[in-house]
């Protein structure tokens, strides 16, 4: 008979197998893309790359589509390249691999604040080709432009909408990506300011036990964290600074099914950043209360456009704010239609 320790070891080993298969497949795809870049460069093509925080995050797949569509319009190429784990060391490795492959410019969503600046500042200066940040800011030392949402205002909008939904306040739990993620930290500050009206209504809100929570890009863990908090602690408002738990549809729906009536009756409020199609479905189904989102396809489009401008010696704006969307259960049909694009040279 196996003892408890042996059984736990065996279970851990078995559970680890799929991740190795997934990583191997991802590495094979990455090698194929590096070969593709070199082949395109050998024929004189202009090639740009887009590096997400993680290729497992569906938000970034929409950014990639925007990048690739704009590349087709301009007669250049956009290669979507990254790792399936949200890991700053892997992102750094991916960045260097693309540089070695000969790309003409890179758009990147930085995972950890200051990581690339501290470790690759000199190498990237010597490289000399354009880098832009999208979704998550990068140091101005490295990045020629930022394309995306004003993350503080994104969070503040979510917090303000929540305050209007729950004017009496409540007990909330903040759920975020990681404590060293620059864009998510800005969103958290904005959420608190919006929720408390800049501190004027701070007494109406109480942070729940063990909150904030961080899932580090592991969406399976994100759903488990959400359900554990809702089930075991006196939390009536669950707030996510990104898609997080909402990016595993089957598990999310299954986990929140027992709480659907509470959500519909306003006893439990689920509020999240991002308004991808599946997230709008949750609103329609009564499994989400509020989503404030971004425009990832616009981020991809403008990232490519700015890289091409810079490569060809043109001036480009320092900031392109791609705007946000506010979606409620009764506005899902048209809440993502307006553009809201803002361009700044300052």
Strand partners, 342: 321
User: 279-310 burial, b for 16+ CB within 10 Å, e for fewer?
Assistant: bbebbebebbbbbbbbbbbbbbbbbbbbbbbb
**Among 137, 73, 72, 81, CA closest to 105:** 81
Count of structural domains within the chain: 2
- Residue 98 within a domain: yes
Q: How confident is the model at residue 338 (pLDDT cuts 50, 70, 90)?
A: low
Identify whether 211 is part of a domain: yes
Alpha helix locations (H) across 166-209?
A: 182-195
Residue 87 sits in a domain whose CATH number is 3.40.50.2300
- Distance of alpha carbon 64 from its chain centroid, rounded? 13
- Dist. CA 136–CA 93, nearest whole Å: 18
DSSP 124-170: HHHH---EEEESS---TTT-S-EEE--HHHHHHHHHHHHHHH-TT-E
Q: Which string of DSSP letters, residue by residue, matches 237-302?
A: EEEESSSGGGGSHHHHHHHHGGGHHHHHTTSSEEEEE---HHHHHHHHHTS-SEEEE--HHHHHHH
Do 256 and 280 belong together in one domain?
A: yes
Residues 66-84: what's their mean pLDDT?
A: 98
* 249 part of a folded domain: yes
Residues 31, 144 within the same domain: yes
- List the domain range (segments joined by +) for residue 89: 22-149+296-315
The closest of 124, 172, 133, 125 to 151, measured between CA atoms, is 133
User: Is residue 13, in this structure, part of any structural domain at all?
Assistant: no
Residue with the bigger pLDDT between 5 and 130: it is 130
Spell out the residues 6+ positions from residue 46 whose beta carbon is closer than 8 angstroms to its own: 75, 76, 77, 104, 308, 311
Residue 117 has pLDDT above 50, yes or no: yes
Of 174 and 6, which is predicted with more confidence? 174
Residue 113 pLDDT level (bands cut at 50, 70, 90) = confident
- Confidence band of 57 (pLDDT split at 50, 70, 90): very high
Is there a contact between 299 and 305 (Cβ–Cβ < 8 Å)?
Answer: no
How far is it, in rounded angstroms, from Cα 46 to Cα 208?
A: 51
More confident residue, 24 or 247: 247
Q: If you average pLDDT over every residue of the chain, what do you get?
A: 90
Claim to verify: residue 158 and residue 287 sit in the same structural domain: yes
Same domain flag for 86 and 129: yes
* Same structural domain, 159 and 145: no
* Percent helix, percent strand, percent coil in the chain, to nearest 5: 50, 15, 35
Per residue in 172-221, pLDDT (tens digit) is 999 999 999 999 999 999 999 999 999 999 999 999 999 999 999 999 99
More confident residue, 328 or 13: 328
pTM, 2 dp: 0.87
283 and 173: one domain? yes
Residue 87 lies in a domain: yes
Q: What is the pLDDT of residue 120?
A: 87
Q: What is the DSSP string of 205-237?
A: EEEPTT-SEE-TT-HHHHHHHHHHHHHHS--SE
Whether residue 225 is predicted with pLDDT greater than 60 in this model: the reply is yes
Beta partners for residue 292, in sequence order: 273, 326
């Amino acid at each position: 008979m196996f003892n408890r320790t042996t059984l736990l070891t065996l279970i851990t080993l078995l559970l680890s197998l799929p991740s190795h298969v997934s990583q191997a497949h991802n590495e094979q795809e990455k090698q194929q893309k590096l070969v593709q870049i070199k082949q395109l460069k050998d024929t004189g093509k202009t090639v740009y790359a887009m590096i997400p925080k993680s290729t497992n995050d569906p938000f970034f797949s929409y950014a990639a589509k925007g990048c690739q569509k704009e590349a087709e319009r301009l007669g250049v190429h956009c290669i979507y390249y990254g790792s399936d784990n949200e890991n700053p060391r892997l992102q750094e490795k991916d960045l260097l691999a693309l540089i070695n492959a000969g790309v003409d410019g890179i758009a990147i969503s930085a995972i950890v604040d200051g990581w690339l600046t501290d470790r690759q500042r000199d190498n990237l200066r010597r490289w000399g080709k354009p880098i832009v940040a999208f979704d998550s800011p990068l140091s101005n030392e490295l990045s020629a432009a930022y394309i995306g949402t004003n993350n503080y205002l994104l969070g503040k909008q979510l917090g303000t909408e929540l305050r209007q939904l729950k004017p009496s306040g409540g007990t909330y739990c903040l759920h975020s990506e990681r404590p060293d993620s620059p864009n998510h930290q800005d969103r958290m500050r904005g959420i608190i300011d919006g929720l408390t009206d800049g501190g004027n209504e701070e007494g109406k809100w109480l942070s729940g036990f063990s909150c904030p929570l961080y899932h580090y890009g592991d969406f399976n863990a994100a759903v488990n964290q959400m359900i554990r908090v809702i089930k075991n602690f006196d939390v009536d408002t669950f707030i996510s600074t990104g898609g997080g738990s909402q990016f595993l549809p089957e598990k999310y729906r299954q986990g929140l099914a027992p709480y659907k009536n509470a959500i519909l009756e306003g006893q439990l409020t689920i509020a999240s950043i991002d308004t991808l199609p599946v997230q709008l479905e949750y609103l329609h189904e009564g499994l989400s209360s509020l989503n404030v989102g971004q425009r990832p396809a616009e981020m991809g489009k403008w990232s490519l456009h700015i890289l091409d401008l810079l490569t060809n010696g043109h001036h480009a704006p320092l900031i392109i704010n791609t705007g946000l969307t506010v979606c409620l259960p009764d506005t899902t049909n048209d809440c993502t239609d307006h553009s809201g694009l803002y361009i700044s040279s300052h």
